[in-house]
Structure 1
Amino acid sequence: MDETGVRPTAEQVLALAPDAASRKAGTKLGTAGPWSDTGGGGAEGAVWGLCAGSGGKPYRTVVDITGPAYTCSCPSRKFPCKHALGLLLLLASDEQAVDGTAPAPGWAEEWLAKRRERAGERGTGSPAEAAPGRPADPEAVRRRAERRAARITAGATELEQRLTDLLRGGLAAAEQSGYGLWEETAARMVDAQAPGLAGRVRELGAIPGSGPGWPVRLLEESALLHLLSTAWLGRDRLPEPLAATVRTRVGLPSAAGSAPVRDHWLVLAQSDSSDGKLITRRIRLYGRDSGRSALVLSFGAAGRSPQLGLPVGLMIEAEILPHPGAGQLRADWGRQFGAPGPIEGPPPGGSTGAAIEAYGSALRADPWLDSVPVTLRQVVPVQRGGGWQLADADGESALPLASTGLSRSGLWKLAALSGGGPLTVFGEFGHRGFQPLAAWAEDLAGTVPLT
């Protein structure tokens, strides 16, 4: 969670859950339906609300975002309980659902006042614990950040030992140990306040027995996790842009940069994915004037569609707020100026070889990057060796399409749009191949979404 009151993301909230059952139950409560009298928010440093339960009396829930710390009148012994998770997911997915101007009710203020009093005795206040209207103590913020960094360091050190034990025992043994070992390790990373490490550990747990070649995939992902944990342990020796990327990857919140970028943004792709608990919307943008690519993420919990939606194929003059970090494309959507209009043409692109070079350069800035946005010019979809590729029209080279990319109907849409002729295709290219997201034909006006 944030050290300075920045609104948490849904991934960070779910990483705090003590177990899978809590994540599922908390996600169901991440909508406005069961909540009333909500208030607070990122600027307040705390959030509170009443959650309807099975009884006639609602549960009183308060979360100090900067701690994080929680209290709830429910009888659950899990920490945080599902109500605290649901309230944080509500804040993460829809900030307007929480009244940021509402004063804290007596039951919430009483708990927050006790925390302020205890913090005053220790000399370590926080934005949530400071008196109303008074700024947070910079020294207290620094000490909290140091304490969290120390916890993450302890977690990364423990993770290194567990990865060493995995290799010493042999990768084949990972299939017999079951998912429980991974979940327990992920819980330890949550305790260390490193949700990014926890998420990657859970991904490791899904690899054993997942199909042919799983030991190789497990070794690859374990190596990346080892690289991340050792990068955190040696972050003081890294260049600042790369150190910022490492901080984001381990799970420290990444606030948007202070300098907004105003441009005419081409909306090239919008796609939703779900892990059963959270809907993630990815919106790919390209700045016509700056030549800058950007990725805007929005989230919806418990089956709710994410709030932000931008029409693919249109150009919008607006500001984005970039996140810090080496090679970071993540940004928040800012102010919009005027009405959107149609895209005048595709963004500039290059060959398949140029796409490979772009991905290689991006990996130097962020070794944990899955893919980069690229635009391919003059490529033709072809089927070779039982798989699909996008080949340069001159036949010099080709990129395989990602196995998890287009559906069968999407593949035939791309082939039909080409008709054997060259296309301009925008998509994401990485170690899994190229995933087409939008295309333009030479004899057809307009952008054709492929997702």
Structure 2
Amino acid sequence: MTQQEVRWTADQVLALAPDVASREAGSRLGAAGPWSGAGSSGEGAVWGLFKGGGSGPYRTAADLADVSGPAYTCSCPSRRSPCRHALGLLLLWADGGGGVVSRGPAPEWVEEWREGRRARAGRKAASGRSGPEGGPSDPEAARRRAERRAERITAGVTELEQRLMDLLRGGLASVERTGDGLWEEIAARMVDAQAPGLAARARESGATVPSGADWPSRLLEECALLHLLGQGWLHRERLPPALAAAVRSRVGLPTAPEGPPLRDDWLVLAQYDTQDPKLTTRRTWLHGSGSGRTALVLSYGAAGRAPELTLPVGLALDAEVSAYPGGLRGVLGERFGPPAPAVTRPPGVPVTRAVALYGEALRDDPWLESVPVTLERVVPVPDGDSWHLADAAEDAALPLTPAARARPGLWRLVSLAGGAPVKVFGECGHRGFNPLAAWPQGAGGAVALC
């Protein structure tokens, strides 16, 4: 049996959904009733005809063997990708109950679509190779632009420091009366100073006012972090290299991957989206089975639209990843085969080591919210209104973050554990532990928790 013939799980299929509505609609179409002529090939193609409300059935197909990731086509009018019909077809295929039959070669219309995609990808790659080399055409002009931007950022940071001093002299109670207007004004000034990272932190500070009984203490923490970042920028020449790089990145200066790309079999640990009014950010955590490296790959889409990169949890891909300064964030490069079900798990650590890893990371980046950690053997246990992950081998536990306690994934984790220890991957930080995927003891693949 080839790798492409190993069927995905329903969770891996539903992870492809661009939004909650598509996920729910696709779940209802994963039954054989409305489908006809459904089949799959050993080359990663899955296809079928869906009896919809039109004059003829919708032609739906998926290509799971494309090295750039899963691809889909459907003759329905939906603009979502994958649409609910593609999700329903893949759920029927994943079920393995005979609704999708292995039929050998795909129909002509499926092969024409796949060949057209590959031809367009080839032309795009050739166009990119034939273009001019990247980078500035005039290094001296680029140096002068960088100097002017640094001067504007310094002026903006100096103004920010003065505003923070005025705020603390007047007392935080005055902030509740002024609302978020003060912070929006500060953010706008940081945008003018070409420091988008400082602008984002200013808006986050404003979001704490008022939000809960402890908002003054949280606002004071945010002000302290803003002050620390400003002082880091003003004294960046005296900082250790790793800390100086973190300051430049947090302020908002662009960075580029450094060093040669690392080729490995990358296990997809987690993938989830965060949204704001202008942008959808997709965070994908990868773990190299050979190197032991963990990398965060970010992809973006316009507000309301899912980013293109889709890698369901539990799959692995042979690919190159280039690391940004700091070694955590990476960019996915060339892929040497389609994603396939993973046969390995990441190594885990005890709870006390997870906390120590976060503390060590703060030395190089004091503004770091969390670090990726796999806990080896933990049991989810309730504690009043909250939940903890208790270490099965030592007297230690990690509280779950408030966001994690509000997600349905918590109950999926509790059900998977059944009171026994499980391996859990997530983000460990000052707010607690955010579980993103888990593996049961013994056999079984990863279960997505987000």
**TM-score greater than 0.5 by the shorter chain:** yes
Q: Which amino acid in 2 is paired with 1:306?
A: P
Equivalence for 1:304: 305
Q: Secondary structure of 1:303's partner? A: coil
Matched residue, 1:334? 333
Residue 444 of structure 1: how far off its partner (Å): 4.2
Deviations 1:29-50 (A, max 9, x none): xxxxxxxxxxxxxxxxxxxxxx
Output aligned runs, 1:198-277, within 5 Å.
198-277=199-278
Return closer, same or farther for 1:351/1:147 CA change in 2, 3 Å cut-off: same
Q: How far off its partner does 1:404 sit? A: 1.1
The residue identity in structure 2 corresponding to 1:188 is: R
The reply to whether residue 140 of structure 1 matches residue 141 of structure 2 is: yes
* Alignment partners' CA distance in 2, 1:340 and 1:395: 37
Q: CA deviation at 1:254?
A: 1.3
1:400 aligns with 2:392: no
Distance (whole Å) between structure 2 residues aligned to residue 256 and residue 386 of structure 1: 43
Q: Matched residue of 2:346: which SS?
A: coil
State the Cα distance separating 1:410 from its structure 2 match.
1.7
1:77-134 per-position Cα deviation (integer Å, ceiling 9, x unaligned): xxxxxxxxxxxxxxxxxxx99xx88xxxxxxxxxxxxxxxxxxxxxxxxx9xxxx999
Q: Distance in 2 between matches of 1:134 and 1:435?
A: 38
The equivalent residue for 1:345 is 344
Unaligned runs of at least 5 residues, structure 1: 1-95, 102-126
In the alignment, what sits opposite 2:161?
A: 160
Q: Structure 1 residues 138 and 161 mapped into 2: Cα distance closer, same or farther (>3 Å)? A: same
The alpha-carbon deviation at position 406 of structure 1 amounts to 4.6
Instruction: Look up the match of 1:385.
Output: 384
Q: Which residue of 2 aligns with 1:64?
A: none
Partner of 1:369: 368
Indicate the SS of the match to 1:344: coil
- 1:406 and 1:436 in contact (8 A); partners too: no
Residues in 1 aligned to 2:172 and 2:299: alpha-carbon distance in whole angstroms = 36
Q: What is the aligned length?
A: 324
Contact kept? 2:136, 2:142, Cα under 8 Å: no
Q: 2: distance between equivalents of 1:159 and 1:178?
A: 18
Please tell me whether residue 291 in structure 1 is matched to residue 318 in structure 2.
Answer: no
Other-structure match for 1:278: 279
Residues 423 and 237 from structure 1, CA distance in 2 versus in 1: closer, same or farther, beyond 3 angstroms?
A: same
Q: How does 1:21-36 map to 2 (within 5 A)?
A: none
Distance 1:230 1:344 in 2: 47
Deviation of 1:258 (Å): 3.9
1:333 is paired with a residue of what secondary structure? strand
* Secondary structure of residue in 2 paired with 1:154: helix
Q: In 2, are the aligned partners of 1:425 and 1:440 still within 8 Å (CA)?
A: yes
> Structure 2 counterpart of 1:202, which letter?
R
Number of the residue aligned with 2:427: 428
CA 1:157–1:319: 2 relative to 1, 3 Å? same
Q: Which stretch has the larger CA shift, 277-286 or 408-417?
A: 408-417
Residue 273 of structure 1, CA deviation: 1.4
RMSD: 2.2
Q: Identity of counterpart residues, as a percentage? A: 62
4+ long deviations beyond 6 Å: 132-135
Contact 2:400 2:432 in 1 (8 A): yes
Map of 1:412 onto structure 2: 411
> C-alpha displacement at 1:135, in angstroms?
6.2
1:228 and 1:250 in contact (8 A); partners too: yes
User: Does structure 1 conserve the Cα–Cα contact (< 8 Å) formed by 2:267 and 2:315?
Assistant: yes
Within 2, Cα distance between the matches of 1:408 and 1:222? 30
- Gap change, CA 1:259 and 1:201, over 3 Å in 2: same
Q: Say which SS state the counterpart of residue 295 (structure 2) adopts.
A: strand
State the AA in 1 paired with 2:161: E
Partner SS state of residue 196, structure 1: helix
Contact 2:289–2:344, Cα closer than 8 Å, also in 1: no
Q: Output the CA distance in 2 between the equivalents of 1:247 and 1:394.
A: 41
> How many angstroms apart in 2 are the aligned matches of 1:430 and 1:345?
26
Q: Is the 8 A contact 1:346 1:424 kept in 2?
A: no
Corresponding residue of 1:356: 355
Match of 2:77?
Answer: none
Q: Secondary structure at the match of 2:388?
A: strand
Label 1:159 to 1:411 Cα distance change in 2 as closer, same or farther (>3 A). same
- Measured in 2, the distance between the counterparts of 1:319 and 1:298 equals 16
Contact 1:281 1:306 in 2 (8 A): yes
Question: Paired residue for 1:194?
Answer: 195
1:299 deviation in Å? 0.8
- C-alpha separation between the residues in 1 aligned to 2:278 and 2:405? 23
- Is the CA contact (8 Å cut-off) linking 1:406 and 1:450 kept in structure 2? no
What is the CA–CA distance in structure 2 between the aligned matches of 1:182 and 1:197, rounded to whole Å?
Answer: 11
Instruction: Tell me if structure 1 keeps the 8 A contact 2:187–2:202.
Output: yes
Paired AA for residue 352 in structure 1: V
- Larger mean Cα displacement after TM superposition, 135-144 or 270-279: 135-144
Residue deviations 1:306-328 (CA, integer Å, cap 9, x gap): 01111210111111111113xx4
CA offset digits 1:183-207 (Å, max 9, x no partner): 1111111111000001101111111
- Contact persistence 1:259–1:321 (CA under 8 A): yes
- The residue number in structure 2 matching 1:317 is 318
- Identify if the C-alpha distance between structure 1 residues 195 and 391 changes in structure 2 by more than 3 Å, giving closer, same or farther: same
Letter in 1 for 2:434: Q
Provide the C-alpha distance between the structure 2 equivalents of 1:317 and 1:420, rounded to a whole number of angstroms: 35
Counterparts in 2 of 1:133 and 1:310: CA distance versus 1, 3 Å: closer
Query: 1:137 & 1:396 partners in 2: Cα distance?
Result: 60
For 1:113-132, list aligned pairs within 5 A: none
Corresponding residue for residue 114 of structure 1: none
Q: How far off its partner does 1:408 sit?
A: 4.7
Q: Map 1:1-150 onto structure 2 (within 5 A).
A: 136-150=137-151
Aligned counterparts of 2:137 and 2:361: Cα–Cα separation in 1: 37
- Which amino acid in structure 1 is aligned with residue 338 of structure 2? A
Cα 1:164–1:344 shift into 2, 3 Å: same
Task: Give the match's secondary structure for 2:227.
Answer: helix
Amino acid at match of 1:157: T
Summarize the Cα distance change of 1:447–1:176 in structure 2 as closer, same or farther, 3 Å threshold: same
Report SS of the residue matched to 1:404: helix
Distance in 2 between the 1:134 and 1:346 partners? 39
* Residue 347 (structure 1) shift: 0.5
CA 1:391–1:146: 2 relative to 1, 3 Å: same
Q: Separation in 2 of the partners of 1:252 and 1:291?
A: 29
